[in-house]
Chains A and B, each alone.
Chain A
Amino acid sequence: EPEVTQTPSHQVTQMGQEVILRCVPISNHLYFYWYRQILGQKVEFLVSFYNNEISEKSEIFDDQFSVERPDGSNFTLKIRSTKLEDSAMYFCASSVSGGLQETQYFGPGTRLLVL
């Protein structure tokens, strides 16, 4: 069964460093998302992406964050200068369409630790 994959599964970085989190959405999906979950807290929406542009972003998604679809398969989240509070699990998700009924399928997540 097709699934969303994410790499790396874990990343440890120093505060101020740039990180790139990678995702390969399900191949026929057109809508892509990033969410994050700080340890012990709820899952929070970061950004949605369709047709090579951001569709919606939350207030969390500030200038330190960017997303890109560099080729036909990958979808990346870049954090330019990481802060301690960026430590979280980051989930990529994809869906066939952006319609209300469309299920978003989540990847296994990347656990980011900023020291």
Chain B
Amino acid sequence: AQKITQTQPGMFVQEKEAVTLDCTYDTSDPSYGLFWYKQPSSGEMIFLIYQGSYDQQNATEGRYSLNFQKARKSANLVISASQLGDSAMYFCAMREGLRGYSSASKIIFGSGTRLSIRP
């Protein structure tokens, strides 16, 4: 079963509009972390935002915010006032399980959403 599901393979948005990228996840572990990464055409992976499963507030980082709905197991990324430089692939990812503080738990990625911003 898919752990991370991103149902939008591609999206087109007009510059300056807000955009929501969908992400749902599946885990039975009560402790987990959710991440969003941006991958521009140059290929690097850029960390955007993090949300912990016990965080009471939705995470925000500048123009990025995470709409965390725990009961629905969704963690949508909202980008306000989109810019041309936001055109990229966006990956939702999850880290789950506590195997001890010294563990180095892996990140599981979704299949990504390609966001294109129109001028």
Contacts and interface: CB of A to CB of B under 8 A. Distances in A.
Nearest to B43: A109
B24 to A, nearest CB: 15
A98 B105 contact: yes
Contacts of B31: 100
Interface residues of B, number: 30
Interface stretch (B10-18, B65-73, B80-88, B95-103): B95-103
Contact of B44 (A31, A55, A98, A108): A108
A101 B96 CA distance: 10
Interface stretch (A42-50, A68-76, A77-85): A42-50
B104 interface: yes
Contacts, number: 76
A97 interface: yes
Nearest to A31: B104
A52 interface: no
Contacts of A58: 106
Given A42-B111, A101-B52, A49 B35 contact: no
6 contacts: A42-B91, A48-B104, A50-B102, A100-B32, A100-B33, A109-B43
